[in-house]
């Protein structure tokens, strides 16, 4: 009697293992997981981000302008803006720009702007004011 049960238990185990292996492939509705892993894998593509910095200043007559690097005599202004931003010292940077600027008596306030967006969709850019400096003489 025991010998008669063994082949059926063996068959049940084999059928169970085969079904456990094949059922997920039968129920799979798309082939996406194969593209994500294994020999069909594609590299994960990240959206390329654009990041720029600019300095905007406001005169006492409420007119706003973007600072030209030639006005303060700095050829590496873009590098300095990014460097001070990531060191979280943007306020100090704006103070130093105010000291270098020749027409500083007319300036009411300084703003450091961070412009981010996607290179694939340039119309969707975002501008944020990351630091503001108001000179004491302007108050």
Q: Say yes or no to pLDDT of 94 above 80.
A: yes
Over the chain, what is the mean pLDDT? 80
- 118 pairs with which residues across the strands? 49
Please state which of the ranges 23-37, 58-72, 78-92 shows the lowest mean pLDDT: 23-37
The total number of residues written for the chain in this structure: 139
Q: Say yes or no to pLDDT of 88 above 90.
A: yes
Cα separation, 2 vs 120, whole angstroms: 70
Between 45 and 20, name the one with better pLDDT.
Answer: 20
Cα separation, 66 vs 132, whole angstroms: 14
């Amino acid at each position: 009697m025991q010998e008669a049960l063994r082949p059926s238990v063996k068959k049940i185990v084999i059928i169970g293992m085969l079904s456990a292996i094949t059922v997920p492939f039968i129920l799979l509705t798309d082939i996406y997981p194969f593209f994500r892993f294994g020999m069909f894998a594609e590299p994960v593509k990240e959206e390329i981000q654009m990041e720029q910095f600019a300095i905007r200043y406001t005169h006492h007559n409420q007119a706003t302008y973007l600072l030209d690097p030639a006005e303060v005599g700095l050829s590496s202004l873009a590098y300095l803006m990014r460097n001070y931003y990531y060191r979280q010292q943007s306020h100090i940077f704006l103070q130093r720009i105010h000291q270098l600027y020749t027409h500083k008596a007319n300036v009411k306030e300084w703003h450091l702007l961070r412009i981010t967006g996607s290179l694939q969709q340039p119309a969707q850019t975002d501008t944020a004011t990351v630091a503001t400096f108001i000179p004491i003489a302007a108050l």
